[in-house]
Amino acid sequence: MAIRAISVRPRQALASLADSVRALKGCDPLIPVTVIVPTNATGVTARRYLGRHGGVAAVDMLTLYRLAELLGGRSLVSEGKRPVSTPVIDLAIRAVLSEHPSAFSEVADHPSTIVALRDLHRELRFAGPSSVSALAASSDRGRDSASISTWTTRTLEADWYDEGDLLSRSIAVVATSIPPQLERIVVFLPHPMRGLDISLVRALGLQSDVTIIVAASGDPTVDGEMIESMAMLGVDLEVASTPCEPNDLSMISTTDADEEVRHAVRAVVDAAREGIPFARVAILWPADKPYARLVEHHLGQADIPWNGRPGTGVAERIVPRFLLDLLDVDRRGLRRRELFDLLADVPIRDSAGAPVPVARWERVGREAAVNREEHWTPRLRAYAARCRARDQAAGSETSYRAADAEALIAYVADLRRSLGHRAATRTWREWADWSERQIVSRLGQSFLARLDEPERLAWEHTNRVLDRLRHLDAIGGPVRRGEFRAVFAAEFDVAPGRLGRIGSGVTIGSLSGAVGLDVDLAIIVGAADGLMPPAPNPGPLISDADRQRAGLAPSASVGLRIHRQFFSVLDAATRSIVLLPRGDLRSTSTRLPTRWLNAIASDHPITPISSHHAALLGSVFPAHHREHRLRGLLADVSIGGSITSSADEVTGRALRLRAARRSDELTVFDGDLSSAKIDHFAGPVAPTHLEAWVSCPHAYFVQYVLGVRPVENIADQMEISGAERGLLIHLVLDRFHREVIDGALPQPGAGGWMPEHWHRLDELFDVAADEFELSGRTGRDASWHVERQAVRADLAQWWVHDREHVAATGATVICSERSFGAVGDEVTLALPGGRRLKVKGQIDRVDRTSSGGLIVVDHKTGSAKDYREILRDDPTAGATRFQLPTYAAAALAIAGVDVPVCAQYSFFAREKYERIGFEFDQVAWALVRDDLGLVVDGIEAGYFPNRPEPPGFQFYVKCAYCQPDSLGTGERFPDWERKRRDPRLARWFAEPELSAEADDG
């Protein structure tokens, strides 16, 4: 009985395995042989190769740990022990840290501490008992980490066993007797071994014939770790002095990682067209980020089947993701953002099994200004009451927004009951049962039954994890929800991620796991420094020197394994393509080719691909229909054709759009809807709509024709917005004026408003301010505390100045917030040619003077600077303001008499209270008629160009439709400068002529 090692080139490894198996079987093909493989995937590949080359009868393919489980697992189970899992180790480490925190006292509760100690504990368990004592003697850091591992082992050893226990028990079993099927063993392409791995193989060698097949690159630097492992076994490994040479190697440089993967997929398509099956192709990478997701995505785009580890982790699938989010949804209290992130992420159902109306509920929660935990019930109830009152006033019997608000209240209450208090504890079994109920009830059994294979496998794995967590009551007491979630999440760190069957589609995965790969075409992406080799990571607990003294693998071992596998794949594959990124767009950095290519670069020059377009033009066959369409366009242009004459309708329309927008004429792509017959004035129109068209026709079109409005998130405002501030003042004045009109308060006397009026106005303000505060429309508490007093001061200033006004005019209030324009209450304005325009709106206040005339007042809470000059001699301010004439006409219609009427803006500007208005006589009405006709003609003509503000610094976004990204108008304003030269727009948007003074300057 002995151990012998065979060093072969990677391309000869499978053939050497077949030869070794035949040699061990001799003349009897039914003699059992056990092949120890590094991974299950390697075992499948080896089994299929043996099946094609001599048969696999009586050949078992086992990993070393599966062999240890068969040898020692039964005896450990007979002692009443159970296999340990990640949650069990985590709980044990938490318990140890609570009693023996040592140097970890300040970070004992941090999840990263638990993860780091768990990983080190497992390494030490694989390395054997001597490694713990060696680590304890290495340094202070090593001593503290070793003591935690020792105490963790003592905590678990009575009831649990791990891989270290299995290996140790297997060594003891093999030392006494060995099953017949283990008398002939082949260790195929092992990883570098240490500690208990070596001890088990050495023990097997004392009882069996053990043949170790090592794939050597021929480079002592690359093979050094494997040579060291064989030396520990007492076996000499002769490595060929000549390094491996790849069979057929192409090295290609692309712009970035995305282009690498696109080229890789095209290479797969080309190989398939040459007759190479997908199952004989592999795409490999050195680092999961960003390649795992990119490969999964681009293969999916091309509808190419694949198998391997995808970029989408198991924890990112619907069921585990839902449960992880649900367990943590109230980590800062049940906030609106976190709740709707959960509801929008997966198709959740309510308690009745109906789909949750996420969009409607989100709108309701946002409009109700719900933000924090304590906002849900009071603010949603206040919002429902406002919606119901508004809809009833409009004559609607059903208020859908109010119903949605009440349904959301009920859902949140049910969710709170289900979650319980965040600090409440339950047993592990209770939490696992609760989790299963939430999955079924909130996702729905019918939805779960329709999950595709990846999602179904993730759901099944979630159920297995919950089953394991039920057994934790034996080692830990009741836990809080956050602790349960942390342990549940830890299980997915080692969750199986492979999808598909080996041999079905392209094999994808990392280079470190591509052991024993048997393919005709290997495509390796990411061959750049920083990825190959990866930066070493010694870990947060111990240094590399500590690891060396303890017999643990060095931090550079991952890089060494990738290095060895890189050359193994190049040597084993019939043909290889190595792709190198020149840059990283994610970090805006450049990349250099990996130094590992230096030895072969002279014989295999790197072919650069300058761009995505060049790659498409040079490809033999595009990967999918979108690439095919784009390449056809590029080919047409490259031979002198015109892309605008292409038969590709999508591209043609896009180019026509771009050309039209760059022209000096207004087109259908930037606001010319003259061919669309839209009746803008079928019903009454508000004066603010007309003003919006004058200010920005594009904004008018989007807001009033398409009905699209910016999303406003009241709950995120730091202070009360200008619009809400105006609504508050209007509400207070309306309630005040209605009490005057109804007689609850006297009309102003000869001296104007009296002190009792101010006291009542002040009381009404407090009531309205409390209502706004309850509804969440006042911003943060600190700013509202100051702003509330400022608004009160504005009202006091208004009361003083308005008292003087009513005293001077002898006015009495006859209307407040009077709506007009409904059926039976029509108001019209004259247009040129005898037409009449129906208008609608709401007058803030109408006074009757002592002389019998009317004064219409429109309250404005902003500044008067935009109105002060332009309204002096023009009632419409150059066809830009139509509220005053509209309200004046409405006041006359409401009064039912033809009397003098004056319409005024009443400004609540903080620096100065001011009234600006206009007396409407025959001359003024004629001006209004002409200006109104100008605007109506423009709207009916169908011209809606974008009219942005000149670029420059702005304190706020004046028009969300001109700059929806809030990044300014620097790119849009030049377009408007060109479009306004269109002669069709000159009547409305002609460039202002320079004055003589300007010309002289």
pLDDT of 603 reads: 78
Dig out the tokens for 689 from the structure: 């709509």
Q: How far apart are CA 60 and CA 68, in angstroms?
A: 14
249: which DSSP letter?
Answer: E
Residue 914's pLDDT band, with cuts at 50, 70 and 90, is confident
Please provide the DSSP assignment of 418-474 as one string: HH--TT-EE-HHHHHHHHHHHHHHHH-HHHHHT--HHHHHHHHHHHHHHHHHGGGGG
Residue 943's beta-bridge partner residues? Answer: 672
Non-local CB neighbours of 194 within 8 Å, separated by 6+ positions: 126, 127, 229, 232, 551, 552, 553
Q: What mean pLDDT comes out for the span 279-295?
A: 94
Residue 993's pLDDT band, with cuts at 50, 70 and 90, is very low
Strand 33-37 vs strand 59-63: parallel, antiparallel, or unpaired?
A: parallel
Dig out the tokens for 75 from the structure: 């005896």
* pLDDT of residue 994 exceeding 50: no
Q: Where would I find the H helices in 918-982?
A: 922-941, 973-979
**Cβ(933)–Cβ(831) below 8 Å:** yes
3-state secondary structure of 161: strand
Dig out the tokens for 856 from the structure: 């219409």
> Among 97, 155, 149, which residue's Cα sits nearest to residue 125?
149
Non-local CB neighbours of 464 within 8 Å, separated by 6+ positions: none
Q: How far apart are CA 837 and CA 936, in angstroms?
A: 9
Residues in the chain, how many? 1001
CA-based torsion, 771, 777, 778, 782: positive or negative: positive
Neighbours of 54 (CB within 10 A): 15
Q: How far apart are CA 416 and CA 413, in angstroms?
A: 5
pLDDT of 269 reads: 95
Residue 443's pLDDT band, with cuts at 50, 70 and 90, is very high
Label residue 266 exposed, middle or buried (CB < 10 Å: 0-12, 13-18, 19+): buried
CA-based torsion, 304, 309, 314, 315: positive or negative: negative
Q: Return the top range by mean pLDDT from 240-244, 288-292, 614-618, 858-862.
A: 288-292
> Among 252, 300, 290, 259, which residue's Cα sits nearest to residue 613?
259
Strand 249-254 vs strand 606-608: parallel, antiparallel, or unpaired?
A: parallel
pLDDT of 775 reads: 82
Per-residue pLDDT tens digits for 874-890 = 888 888 899 999 999 99
CA-based angle 647:648:653, to the nearest 5? 110
Label residue 423 exposed, middle or buried (CB < 10 Å: 0-12, 13-18, 19+): exposed
Q: Which amino acid is at 658?
A: R
Q: How far apart are CA 687 and CA 678, in angstroms?
A: 19
Non-local CB neighbours of 387 within 8 Å, separated by 6+ positions: 399, 401, 402, 405
942: which DSSP letter?
Answer: T
Q: What mean pLDDT comes out for the span 179-204?
A: 91
Residue 495's pLDDT band, with cuts at 50, 70 and 90, is low
Q: Give Cα separations from 913 to 862, 864, 908 (angstroms).
A: 10, 9, 5
pLDDT of 728 reads: 93
**Cβ(915)–Cβ(805) below 8 Å:** yes
**Cβ(248)–Cβ(489) below 8 Å:** no
- Indicate the angle between helix axes 883-895 and 922-941, nearest 10 degrees: 120
Q: How far apart are CA 362 and CA 458, in angstroms?
A: 29
Q: Which amino acid is at 170?
A: S
Per-residue pLDDT tens digits for 713-764 = 766 678 888 888 999 999 999 999 999 999 999 999 888 999 999 999 999 9
Per-residue pLDDT tens digits for 813-842 = 999 999 999 888 899 999 999 999 999 999
> Among 378, 988, 768, which residue's Cα sits nearest to residue 370?
378
Which element (helix H / strand E) includes 818? strand 812-820
* pLDDT of residue 869 exceeding 70: no
Residue 102's pLDDT band, with cuts at 50, 70 and 90, is confident
Q: How far apart are CA 50 and CA 48, in angstroms?
A: 5
Percent helix, strand and coil across the chain, each to the nearest 5: 55, 15, 35
573: which DSSP letter?
Answer: S
**Cβ(320)–Cβ(461) below 8 Å:** yes
- This prediction has a pTM of 0.81
pLDDT of 999 reads: 41
Is it true that the peptide bond before 533 is cis, omega within 30 degrees of 0? Answer: yes
CA-based angle 36:40:45, to the nearest 5? 90
Q: Where would I find the H helices in 470-556?
A: 481-491, 544-550
Q: What mean pLDDT comes out for the span 654-668?
A: 89
Q: What is the mean pLDDT of the chain?
A: 89
Strand 589-590 vs strand 583-584: parallel, antiparallel, or unpaired?
A: antiparallel
Dig out the tokens for 923 from the structure: 């001359």
**Cβ(91)–Cβ(84) below 8 Å:** no
Residue 225's pLDDT band, with cuts at 50, 70 and 90, is confident
Q: Give Cα separations from 279 to 73, 249, 329, 651 (angstroms).
A: 36, 20, 43, 36
pLDDT of 632 reads: 80
Phi then psi for 717, rounded to 5 degrees? -75, 135
Q: What mean pLDDT comes out for the span 320-341?
A: 93
**Cβ(954)–Cβ(974) below 8 Å:** no
CA-based angle 53:55:56, to the nearest 5? 125
Q: How far apart are CA 503 and CA 307, in angstroms?
A: 8
Spell out a b/e string for 945-981, using b for 16 or more CB atoms within 10 Å of the CB, else e: bbbbbeeeeeeebebbbbbeeeebbeebbebbeebbe
* pLDDT of residue 438 exceeding 80: yes
Q: Where would I find the H helices in 274-371?
A: 288-301, 318-327, 336-345, 358-367
- Please identify which residue in the block is written with the tokens 């202002």: 992
pLDDT of 444 reads: 92
**For the chain, how big is the Rg over CA atoms in Å?**
39
Q: What mean pLDDT comes out for the span 649-673?
A: 87
499: which DSSP letter?
Answer: B
Per-residue pLDDT tens digits for 374-430 = 999 999 999 999 899 888 877 777 788 999 999 999 999 999 999 999 999 999 999
Strand 521-524 vs strand 281-285: parallel, antiparallel, or unpaired?
A: parallel
Q: Which amino acid is at 767?
A: V
pLDDT of 997 reads: 41
Please provide the DSSP assignment of 840-876 as one string: -EEEEEEEE-TTS-EEEEEEE-S-STTTTTTTSS-TT
